[in-house]
Amino acid sequence: MKRVVLIPANNEEGSLPKVLQDIPKGFVEHIVVVNNVSTDNTATVAKENGAIVVDEPQLGYGKACLTGIEYIKTHLKPDIIIFLDGDYSDYPEDMKALSEKLESGYDMVLGSRTISGDGRKGLSPVNTFGNKLAGFFMRLLFGERYTDLGPFRAIWFDKLLNLRMVDENFGWTVEMQIKAHRKNYKTCEIPVRYRKRYAGESKVTGSFKGSVKAFFKITYMFTVYFLRLK
């Protein structure tokens, strides 16, 4: 089974080495770090810790993911892709549980930080509010139950390509979940551990501006996809 980890990273030199060192040895074939307009040594520390580095000069979480996916599609062609953040808030070791659940018969498996206390204790009030709001919209508009929009997730690579992802910033995770639902993918959530980021500043909850942008973008995504797909 060929597994690849994709890590979008913007100024994560302080935490990225710990993330890369904690990825289970021998479990994944490649680790791709997308250096997304970093002004620090993110690219250097990623290479020093064995990752493939791909540069994306346009800032945006979704844009970094799209660039990484294109590289992986062209050069690596895995069976499974695992998305992981570079801030060391997730526990990389938990990717084994995500992948095992995926391989048991699911199309996409999401790591939920809200199912257990081990995940909830690391969430900020903004994260908690955003998850509750997103869960409400998912039930109201799509009849689907999700407890989290967390980025830590695993999906079969061909299934991901079939989603034809397009969002370039804050709407990436919700777009994936809505499209997977519309395509009748078999999905589930499993509990994952979570902690406060190890270093640096969150691009979403680390500032009022980032939080507001994320709120409006996620609300916009729910509305647009509901109207478009109806």
Terminal alpha carbon distance of the chain: 37
Residue 223 or 42, more confident = 42
Question: Is the per-residue pLDDT at 209 higher than 70?
Answer: no
pLDDT at residue 96, rounded to an integer:
98
pLDDT in tens, 43-56: 999 999 999 999 99
The conformation of residue 161, written as its DSSP 8-state character, comes to H
In this structure, what DSSP letter does residue 24 have? P
CATH number, domain with residue 78: 3.90.550.10
Domain range spanning residue 146? 3-229
Total domains, the chain: 1
- Distance, in Å, from the CA atom of 75 to the CA atom of 45, rounded to the nearest integer, reads 22
- Which helix (H) or strand (E) is 33 found in, with range? strand 30-36
Specify the 3-state DSSP secondary structure of 126.
Answer: helix
pLDDT band at residue 129, thresholds of 50, 70 and 90? low
Eight-state DSSP code of residue 216: H
pLDDT at site 138: 72
Residues 6 or more apart in contact with residue 2 via CB below 8 angstroms:
29, 76, 77, 78, 79, 80
Residue 60 in tokens: 């945006």
Residues above pLDDT 90, as percent of the chain: 65
pLDDT of 119 over the 60 cut: no
